[in-house]
Structure 1
Amino acid sequence: MDEYLFLADAMLGKLSRWIRICGFDTCYTDSTMRDSDILVKITKSGRILITRDRELSLRSDHSLLIKSHRSDEQLLEFLRKYPPQPSKFFTRCTVCNGILDPVDPPYCGLTVPKSVAHRGLKVNVCRNCHKIYWNGTHRKSIEIKLRSIMEIISNENH
């Protein structure tokens, strides 16, 4: 599979976090970035623009216009166009887009919650912002949601 690079505009913050969960390299603009600056950035970086702004999407040769207002439907729209590789799920930081590295106990000086350390869970740490992730109940609900969306797409393709 080709490696796609994305830039989500300020209207799609929640979607950008979900796309990162799926392992896609996804930058995010803030609301102060002008459309002209966004277009320059995607041109220079080779990123594909993800936007809900129809006019902005028409000004770019490489964009995906997201039509839905609902985050679940937005993710479905995105994954229909760019099917993920499940092996890449949970490999990017949802906060800064950095790569996550696995760390086994004793965590090499990381500050992890006592409950995580007590159970000896493997954690993942962002190379950039050092946010720590582990397999808890929140991850299980994310996995269920992703499986459900992937099942919808699979059923559409058959």
Structure 2
Amino acid sequence: MQTTLLFADAMLGGLARWLRLLDIDTALAAPTLSDRELVRLANAQSRVVLTRDRHLIRFLRPDRGLLVAAQRTDAQLREVVDAIQLPRPEALFLRCLVCNGRLEAASAEQILERVPASARAFDQPIRHCPDCDRVYWFGSHTRRMTEHLQEVLPQWFA
């Protein structure tokens, strides 16, 4: 199966986080990155540009681009999943929601120093982002995010 690589413009930061939750490699353009540079980087990395900017798609013509019509993040996520025909991921929460890095198992030291005792009691993996040093664990926030995802993409959880 071919991996889909995405590059969201700065307006779509919320969408990028949800795509990362789905283990979709999604770069996010810094607000200072010009549209031309975004298209150049996306083309060089064989990424699909996600944008709400008609001008970017029409005049800069990325090799692969999707004009996202929806305004709300939920609808944007459904739109991208449908348009690109993204497959249901095998697992959720495998990428850093902030920097897009691949998460790894956290060391005992990272867990003891940075994870609340209540989270350590769960029989779920605790992960660490080697790129930005964030630590992730399963708790009520991940449960709520998963439940929300089930509402947004019910076909994946039927």
Deviations 1:67-103 (A, max 9, x none): 1111111111111123233314211000110001134
SS at match of 2:90: helix
What is aligned with 2:46?
46
Q: Which residue of the partner structure matches residue 103 of structure 2?
A: 100
Distance 1:153 1:122, change over 3 A: closer
Counterpart secondary structure, 1:87: coil
The answer as to whether partners of 2:7 and 2:50 remain within 8 angstroms in 1 is yes
Residues 26, 100 of structure 2: 8 Å contact kept? yes
TM-score (normalizing by structure 1): 0.86
Q: TM-score, normalised by structure 2?
A: 0.86
1:17-96 matches, within 5 Å, as 17-58=17-58, 59-81=61-83, 82-96=85-99
Gaps of 5+ in 2: none
> Is contact 1:102-1:124 (8 Å) kept?
yes
Provide the C-alpha distance between the structure 1 equivalents of 2:153 and 2:76, rounded to a whole number of angstroms.
Answer: 13
Q: Which ranges of structure 1 fall in alignment gaps of 5 or more residues? A: none
Distance apart, 1:40 and its partner CA: 0.9
RMSD between aligned alpha carbons?
2.0
Please state whether the residue corresponding to 1:50 is helix, strand or coil.
strand
- Secondary structure (helix, strand or coil) at the match of 2:18 reads helix
From 110, 114, 127, the equivalent of 2:130 is 127
Quick one: percent identity of the two aligned structures? 34
Structure 1 SS opposite 2:15:
helix
Q: Which secondary structure state, in structure 2, belongs to the residue aligned with residue 64 of structure 1?
A: strand
Contact 1:21 1:90 in 2 (8 A): yes
Which residue in 2 is equivalent to 1:8?
Answer: 8
Using a 3 Å threshold, how does the CA distance of structure 1 residues 142 and 61 change in structure 2: closer, same or farther?
Answer: same
Question: Residue 48 of structure 1 contacts residue 64 of structure 1 at CA under 8 Å; is this kept in 2?
Answer: yes
Q: 129, 151, 157: which one pairs with 1:148?
A: 151
CA deviation after TM superposition for structure 1 residue 120, in Å: 6.5
Distance in 2 (CA, whole Å) between partners of 1:151 and 1:118 is 30
1:116 aligns with 2:116: no
Deviation at 1:121, TM superposition (A): 4.9
Q: Would the aligned equivalents of 1:80 and 1:153 in 2 still touch at CA under 8 Å?
A: no
